[in-house]
Amino acid sequence: MAGSRYAYVRTFELPDTLLPGTFIVVRLDGHAFHRFSDEHAFAKPNDERALQLMDLAARSVMQEYRDVVLAFGESDEFSFLLRRSTALYNRREAKILTTIVSLFTSSYVLNWPDYFPETRLKYAPSFDGRIVLYPSAKEVKDYFAWRQADTHINNMYNTVFWALVQQGGQSTKEAHETLRGTVSSQKHELLFSKFGVNYNTLPDRFRKGSVFVREEIVLLHCDIIGDAFWSERPYVLEEI
Ligand code: DGT
Ligand code: MG
Ligand code: MG
Ligand code: MG
Ligand code: MG
């Protein structure tokens, strides 16, 4: 059918098919969550309720999108790995990205009252999103290692920083000064000697982030930097 005289505008919509045979990673991140976490009085440095709500939203994405084989979350972000041969929405980039980000966001808002029964949402939160393609298992493993290393570095810093402020009586400016140029072992030492906290005994959730694997959507707070995680789950990177 020829359609109306207006239908030609459709030809301005360009195809955005993602390269076949590549791993698709969707990463979403809370928009301006510095402010959002302040306005909703998130506990510092880690708010267990907020992290669990992120996990729940990620779980709903995995329930809806069966081709998501792995997800990793920390802070206000989540990454989703789609299996290499996925034909989801004919691999149309905008469709995949926008539906996943909006389902995550609506699930976050829908379930907010269960996790923050005493805190009304002051305004509607939003998440940005991007898709990155990776050609081989190596880059996929390095991608997730990069995110988990980031979790570790940030959590280490934030843990010592807030201990200095909340227990040590330093101003935020002084705490930044104290930590300037320190390496990981010095932060460990400072936390232990000044505050009696052994970093390694803090919850895995905070130190390692959240790892969802497709096996009945299991939630782990485990190491994904080493090879063991990947070799125990060949289906994540191989076609089966
Ligand atoms: P963006 O992503 O460029 O729109 O800006 P932000 O402000 O979202 O910055 P980002 O994503 O780099 O950092 C995440 C912010 O969210 C950071 O300021 C700390 C805050 N946040 C995330 N999780 C927690 C939490 O569990 N407790 C607290 N107090 N803050 C959190
Ligand atoms: Mg961001
Ligand atoms: Mg953010
Ligand atoms: Mg972030
Ligand atoms: Mg439609």
Question: Where do the domains of the chain lie?
Answer: 15-143+205-236
Q: How many Å lie between the centroid of ligand 4 and the Cα of residue 40? A: 16
pTM reported for the whole predicted model: 0.94
pLDDT per position in the chain (240 positions), as tens? Answer: 568 999 999 999 999 999 999 999 999 999 999 999 999 999 999 999 999 999 999 999 999 999 999 999 999 999 999 999 999 999 999 999 999 999 999 999 999 999 999 999 999 999 999 999 999 999 999 999 999 999 999 999 999 999 999 999 999 999 999 999 999 999 999 999 999 999 999 999 999 999 999 877 889 999 999 999 999 998 888 754
Ligand 1 atom closest to residue 76's alpha carbon, by position in its atom list: 22
Q: Which ligand is nearest to the CA of 34?
A: 1
Q: Which ligand is nearest to the CA of 31?
A: 1
Domain 15-143+205-236: homologous superfamily in CATH: tRNA(His) guanylyltransferase (Thg1) (3.30.70.3000)
Report in angstroms the alpha-carbon separations of 80 from 25, 48, 52, 100, 213.
5, 21, 17, 9, 10
Query: Which ipTM score applies to this complex?
Result: 0.97
